[in-house]
Amino acid sequence: ARKSAGQTTMQMERTFIAIKPDGTNRGLIGEIIARFEKKGYKLVAMKAVKPSKELAETHYDALKEKPFFGPLVEFICSGLVIAMVWEGTGVVKTGRQMIGATNPLESAPGTIRGDLGIDVGRNVIHGSDAVETAEREIGIWFKPEELVDWDQTVKQWIYE
């Protein structure tokens, strides 16, 4: 698909990606960001946060009946989270493929969780599972004015 002046015709999507406290504590921030950068995706927003309980509970609202919900929220609030928005063609699905399966031991080598994690409750990274989920999550973590409007000048070398 091609872009004409100022108009996006391809499936330009945004996804919400967060490096969890295990990833930040283990010094994996640069490694994880590098994978999305090198792929060619465009960083639209990023911030360092120690999430409140309310923020974590809202983010994981769909899982509130699960037995691991309490420990999960406590874990997410326990330290630094790097919250990001990445943009590009198919970034929601491809981002999930780059991240790997929820359980790191079931994630293929080459994926972020497959390469960098072992336990499901310490799986290093979050990524939205659908375009609608991404919109919801971006709205929870970011104000509209925190999403940066900028031109990825190398895009002609990433997209045909």
Annotated ligand binding at 25? The verdict is no
68 is in an annotated binding site: yes
Q: How many residues does the chain have?
A: 160
- x/- contact string, 87-116, with ligand UDP (CB under 6 A)? ---------------x--------------
Complete edge-to-edge strand list for the sheet that includes strand 81-89: 42-49, 81-89, 12-19, 125-127
Candidate list 126, 134, 138, 142, residue with the active-site label? 126
**Beta-bridge mates of residue 43:** 86
- Is residue 126 part of the annotated active site? The answer reads yes
For residues 95-123, b (16+ Cβ closer than 10 Å) or e, as one string? bbebbbbeebeebeeebbbbbbbeeeebb
Among 123, 134, 141, 142, binds ligand UDP (CB under 6 A): 123
Please, which residue, 72 or 92, has the CB nearer to ligand UDP? 72
Q: According to CB under 6 A, which one of 28, 88, 126, 141 is a site residue for ligand UDP?
A: 126
Q: Which of 56, 72, 98, 138 binds ligand UDP (CB under 6 A)?
A: 72
The tally of CA atoms less than 13 A away on the side-chain side of residue 10 is 13
Show which residues are catalytic.
126
